[in-house]
Structure 1
Amino acid sequence: MLQNLPQDPVILLSVINTKLRDFYPSLDQLCKEMEVNKKELTDKLDLIDYAYDASCNQFV
C-alpha cells in the first residue's frame, strides 16, 4: 500500500531514493519497515521508466 507516500511518481521517486540512501540498506527492508507493497511501488515507478538497482540501492 502506498497510501502514506506521494502519489505523483516523480515526487515518489525522490522520497523513496532519499529513504533508501539515508535509512534503508535495501528495497526489501524499506518495504517491510514502511509496510509498503513492493510490487505496487515498483510498478508506480516503472510508469516513469525507473527500476530498482540493488547494486546502488536506488531507483535509476
Structure 2
Amino acid sequence: MNTLPEDPMILFSFINTKLRDNYASLDALCDDMHISKADLVAKLGSAGFEYNPSQNKFW
C-alpha cells in the first residue's frame, strides 16, 4: 500500500473519489491498483470507516 496516502482521512477521501469516478466496486479498484483489499479495509476500518457495497463507498 506504499502508493496510497498514509493518513487515514486522506486515504478515505482518495479511495472514495476513485470509487466514485473510476470503479464500479472495491474489488475492481483493488485489482486495478494492485492493492490488498483486506489491508485497505483494515486500515480504513481502524479509522472507523466501513465499506458499503450498495453505495460503493466507505462511510
**TM class by smaller structure:** over 0.9
Q: Distance in 2 between matches of 1:11 and 1:18?
A: 11
Runs of 4+ in 1 over 2 A off after TM superposition: none
More helix by share: 2
Superposed CA RMSD in Å reads 0.5
In structure 1, stretches of 5+ residues that fail to align are none
Structure 1 position 36 matched with structure 2 position 35: yes
Q: Distance in 2 between matches of 1:26 and 1:59?
A: 11
Percent identity over the alignment is: 49
Deviation (angstroms), 1:47:
1.1
Q: How does 1:8-47 map to 2 (within 5 A)?
A: 8-47=7-46
